[in-house]
Structure 1
């Protein structure tokens, strides 16, 4: 009746932006159909809910989403907040709509893989019983890029190990899935942090141990900060290690005979990750010592080459642990004869300070 009086079907205003967006949000398929038959813009952009498809995906109106797609809605159209329907449905946990959108051609890597990253960053408990777990599986199975970075250069793996709302066993499981899909264990963010730096700061021993188990036998060559990384599989002999390190430095291997004495013959490649510094020169081992996680320190005590590595301020793991009063960590570090007890920071302070 109202449409028959010549009212503008695409008039904009209010919370929803337009009539078709309001109808889509509330799941009124017949009204959506009527508005479209009367010339409503199926991809109208305005209001708090972006566009009609975004609004229907937000509230989980499966039939409305299907109707809009059948009538030609742009499945990858960005809302006013530059978010697509797939990201919205993923965050809200509407797994049937996620499946529908992907089946109809939604780009799982649109907006730099924002759908996957947004789920992992949710400040809500994630378990196997939540629909979000199944959605993560759907996105990964459909080719979600696990190496994509956000504005801080954080990958999905960084986010997984930084989110307190993901339980320990889920972080281990997610880490394994992401690595199997090609996640880079050594990728640095803008601070130079690798995923293991995040795990050292925000996770417990079980997660860190799981991380190191995942990385066993990896053979990547990459860079973290200004430090070349050559992660070597276990049981490589010294000659191979010397050649690899010399190649990384662009030097002749014969100049590195002294490495015979410093490189262990059998050393799991995963423990090299504990020695990777961020842009301040701090390694995951440093952060574990500073946090007082004696189990992580004990695990790496005899395999790390960064026991005495200083950060930008000249602070070593021993100095960091001593200042925080972590007696157990200090005791562990001192039990290793290689630990320098007389080390000073940039202000000349020793562990006694």
Structure 2
């Protein structure tokens, strides 16, 4: 480790300031042992981190083990540094938005939150190793960390917390997984009791980065959706999953006309496009869910909506008819 990295690690701001004033100084220089940059070495010292960022430090480097700033800061347990960095990212994405209700959605797509190291471990795994409930809670509330993510040995954060006998963290993660299972199995009484007990409902899980609201809408669990709406903490029914689809897209694709109607009554954006540019109405036409299409039209869906390719629903429908006629003829 160089003298610059050592100074960053101990938080010697005066030395680092003088060192970086030299014309040949590199704020992103790596040490030969672990591949740490000055920023990665400084994760326990907020003033140092702030200064290095002001000097143009790369905030997304990885060391020789694939660890990001978030991994290292989480393992070292310095919550103020983590919060400062992620809040800074939030303000870049949503300038002027300081409302607490927007915190979950504003970190959508956060580049640090989904990073994995060479062992396929997220920052949540690192929090589990240390039993750091505060940081685990914060990362999960970002709405991006997959609570079910597995490392190369197949272990989730819950498994690691159990092995470390970190009981408060085990209890917290267990409550989230129990809530997830209640939604999946449509155990709505249990879902209601857990939400009334204050269990956080806006965590993400699974490969697509879904929240509970995506699952209940996809499954057509209207009662579950109503329970989440009533007892969940300011649930955003327009929030996209990790794959960019909203609850309305999921419900439309699966033909859940009652859920689609209920979502529209809640004021969701009817014509909001999914990542490929299709609205819920276009999706319902493509899949052939006439009842869903009728409901969407009742709530003002644009029948002439053009997707990212400039194609309207009638174009899509006519193509399907021609394709069906051709297949029938042969």
After TM superposition, the score normalised by the length of structure 1 is: 0.41
Q: If you compute each CA radius of gyration, which structure gives the higher value, 1 or 2?
A: 1
After TM superposition, the score normalised by the length of structure 2 is: 0.43
